[in-house]
C-alpha cells in the first residue's frame, strides 16, 4: 500500500516523508509549492505539483497508486494572518480539507491523519490541557482547525469504513537530527526559528510580543515539541488505524512549558550568540499559556518521544539554520518570494 502526504514539500510534511521512507512505506506527495520547496521532497518519491482540492490530480493519484492512508499537512498556519484574513483560513484549512475528505471517501480510503492544532483550545484554563477540555479558539486559524475536526467526526460517523486521527500539535520546532530536512520558511513567524535566525546573523534580533501576560515572567508559555517526535506520533497513528483502532483526537506536546524569555535565553546559550530581544506589543490571537497533557498519545498510540529536550530542539534548529545560511537560497524563486512559511 502507498501513503499520500499532502504538504509533503513543507516543514512537517517533509519530515513525515522521511519517516515513512525510514519505515519502508511507499509515499506519494501532493503539494502546490505555495510555501514548500520541491527540493524538500526526497529523490525518488512520486511528487504531484497540485492543490489538495484539485480533483483531477487526486483522481490521477488514487488511480495510479494503491493508497490506504492520507496524511494531510497542507494548510495555512499563521495565527495573526488568520485574524486579518479569516476567509483565507476557512478556505485553505476547512473547505479544501472538506474536498479532500470527499475524494478520499469516494475512493474508499480507510485512514486519514490530520494536522490539527492546540489552537483549537484557545485559552484552555487547564494546565496541562487534556483533549476533554472545551474548545474555544481565539483565532480564525484555530476555528478552521476545529471545524475540520468536526467534519472528520461527522464523516466518520456516516462512513464506518473511514477512520481518522486528528493530532493537535503544540509548538513544533527543530529539524531532522540527520539534517535531511528542516524548517526552510521564506518568511518566518515561529519563535525558535526566528531566534535561530537571529543567532546565525540572518536578522538583527527578536521582538518579544508582550510581557504583560498572566504568566511567571509575563511572556507567553508554550510546549515546544521536536518535529521528529511529532512525525513519529503520526506514524504511530497510522499503525493504530491500520490495526483497526478507533478514530482518535490526541494532543502532541511534551507537557513542559517554556516562556518566550526562557526560549530566547536558551537559544543564546546553545548558540553562544547574544542577540537583541526587544519587548513589543502583544500579537493578535496569542493565548497566554498552553501546555499539553499527552497521556492519550502515549497510551493509545504507544507514542514514546525520544527528543523531549528544549536544548536538543534548539541545537537541531540552529544546525539547520547554519546550513541554510551557508547554502543560501536554493532557487531564485526562494530568494524573491515573500509568501507565508510552510506547514
Residues with a catalytic annotation lie at 141
Q: Which residue is nearest to ligand UFG (CB)?
A: 220
Cell of 182: 528542516
Distance between CA 191 and CA 265 in Å, rounded?
A: 12
Q: Which residues pair with 29 in a beta bridge?
A: 5, 47
Torsion 70-146-56-157 (CA) sign? positive
Torsion 227-230-236-242 (CA) sign? negative
Tell me the closest approach of the beta carbon of residue 65 to ligand UFG, in angstroms.
29
Tell me the closest approach of the beta carbon of residue 57 to ligand UFG, in angstroms.
26
Q: Which residues of this chain interact with ligand UFG, rule CB under 6 A?
A: 77, 79, 117-119, 169-171, 189-191, 194, 206-209, 220, 222, 260, 283, 286, 290
Nearer to ligand UFG, 70 or 119 (CB): 119
Nearer to ligand UFG, 67 or 208 (CB): 208
Nearer to ligand UFG, 77 or 310 (CB): 77
**Contacts for 131-137: CB closer than 8 Å, 24+ residues apart:** 131/168, 131/249, 131/250, 131/251, 131/296
Nearer to ligand UFG, 45 or 260 (CB): 260
Coil, helix or strand for 331?
coil
Q: Which of 333, 196, 328, 341 is nearest to 271 (CA)?
A: 196
Give the orientation angle of helix 96-106 with respect to helix 140-158, to 10 degrees.
Answer: 20
Tell me the closest approach of the beta carbon of residue 198 to ligand UFG, in angstroms.
9
Tell me the closest approach of the beta carbon of residue 6 to ligand UFG, in angstroms.
16
Amino acid at each position: 500500500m502507498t501513503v499520500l502526504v499532502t504538504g509533503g514539500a513543507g516543514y512537517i510534511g517533509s519530515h513525515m516523508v522521511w519517516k515513512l521512507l525510514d519505515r519502508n512505506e511507499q509515499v506519494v506527495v501532493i503539494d502546490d509549492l505555495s510555501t514548500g520547496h520541491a527540493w524538500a521532497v526526497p529523490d525518488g518519491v512520486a511528487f504531484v505539483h497540485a492543490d489538495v482540492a484539485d480533483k483531477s490530480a487526486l483522481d490521477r493519484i488514487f488511480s495510479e497508486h494503491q493508497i490506504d492512508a492520507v496524511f494531510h499537512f497542507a494548510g495555512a498556519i499563521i495565527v495573526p494572518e488568520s485574524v486579518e484574513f479569516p476567509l483565507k483560513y476557512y478556505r485553505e484549512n476547512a473547505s479544501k480539507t472538506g474536498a479532500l475528505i470527499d475524494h478520499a471517501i469516494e475512493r474508499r480510503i480507510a485512514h486519514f491523519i490530520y494536522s490539527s492544532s492546540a489552537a483549537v483550545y484557545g485559552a484552555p484554563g487547564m494546565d496541562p490541557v487534556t483533549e476533554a477540555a472545551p474548545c474555544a479558539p481565539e483565532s480564525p486559524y484555530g476555528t478552521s482547525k476545529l471545524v475540520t475536526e468536526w467534519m472528520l467526526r461527522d464523516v466518520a460517523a456516516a462512513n464506518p469504513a473511514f477512520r481518522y486521527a486528528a493530532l493537535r500539535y503544540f509548538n513544533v520546532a527543530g529539524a531532522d537530527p540527520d539534517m535531511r530536512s528542516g524548517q526552510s520558511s521564506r518568511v518566518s513567524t515561529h519563535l525558535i526559528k526566528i531566534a535561530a535566525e537571529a543567532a546565525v546573523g540572518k536578522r538583527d534580533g527578536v521582538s518579544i510580543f508582550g510581557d504583560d501576560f498572566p504568566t511567571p515572567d509575563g511572556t507567553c508559555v508554550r510546549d515546544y515539541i521536536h518535529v521528529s517526535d511529532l512525525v513519529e506520533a503520526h506514524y504511530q497513528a497510522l499503525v493504530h488505524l491500520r490495526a483497526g483502532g478507533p478514530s482518535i483526537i490526541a494532543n502532541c506536546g511534551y507537557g513542559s512549558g517554556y516562556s518566550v524569555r526562557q526560549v530566547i535565553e536558551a537559544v543564546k546559550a546553545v548558540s553562544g550568540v547574544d542577540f537583541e530581544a526587544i519587548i513589543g506589543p502583544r500579537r493578535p490571537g496569542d493565548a497566554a499559556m498552553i501546555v499539553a497533557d499527552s497521556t492519550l498519545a502515549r497510551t493509545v498510540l504507544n507514542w514514546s518521544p525520544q527528543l523531549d529536550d528544549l536544548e536538543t530542539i534548539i541545537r537541531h534548529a540552529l544546525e539547520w539554520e547554519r546550513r541554510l545560511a551557508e547554502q543560501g537560497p536554493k532557487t531564485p524563486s526562494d530568494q524573491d518570494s515573500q509568501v507565508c512559511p510552510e506547514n
